[in-house]
């Protein structure tokens, strides 16, 4: 099962640092070794390792704060904007944070 990272900023951060945190409003069925692309049906960009960091209900910006520096975004507001852009247009009430580590490139 592939992980899709649509944000150019997040992908750039992953390439530069080897790690990012991502927010998902649904739980992933697979953690562990995986691969990453930028869109549904896209080509492999990198081999990654995905780990579940945690689940939160009643998401607030404060909960995401410890992960912002490794999200690829400059602020919580920017990250929240990206989350809502690819979601329903508003911040979900619950979600999961995953760590994504790159260990290979295509």
pLDDT tens digits for range 70-84: 999 999 889 888 888
Q: Going from the N-terminus, what domains does the chain have, and what CATH number goes with each? A: 3-105 (2.30.130)
What is the dihedral angle through the alpha carbons of 23, 26, 31, 33, rounded to the nearest 10 degrees?
A: -70
Higher pLDDT, 60 or 43: 43
3 pLDDT higher than 90 = yes
- In 3D space, the residue among 99, 2, 96, 98 whose CA is nearest the CA of residue 47 turns out to be 2
Beta partners for residue 4, in sequence order? 37
Q: How confident is the model at residue 53 (pLDDT cuts 50, 70, 90)?
A: very high
pTM of the full structure: 0.89
Report the share of the chain in percent with pLDDT over 90.
63
């Amino acid at each position: 099962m592939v992980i899709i990272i649509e944000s150019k900023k997040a992908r750039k951060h992953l390439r530069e640092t080897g790690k990012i945190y991502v927010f998902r409003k649904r739980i992933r069925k697979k953690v562990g070794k995986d691969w990453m692309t930028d869109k549904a049906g896209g080509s492999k960009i990198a081999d990654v390792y995905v780990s579940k960091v945690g689940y939160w209900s009643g998401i607030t910006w404060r909960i995401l704060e410890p992960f912002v520096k490794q999200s690829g975004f400059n602020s919580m507001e920017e990250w929240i904007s990206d989350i809502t852009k690819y979601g329903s247009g508003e911040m979900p009430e619950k979600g999961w944070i995953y760590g994504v580590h790159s260990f290979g490139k295509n």
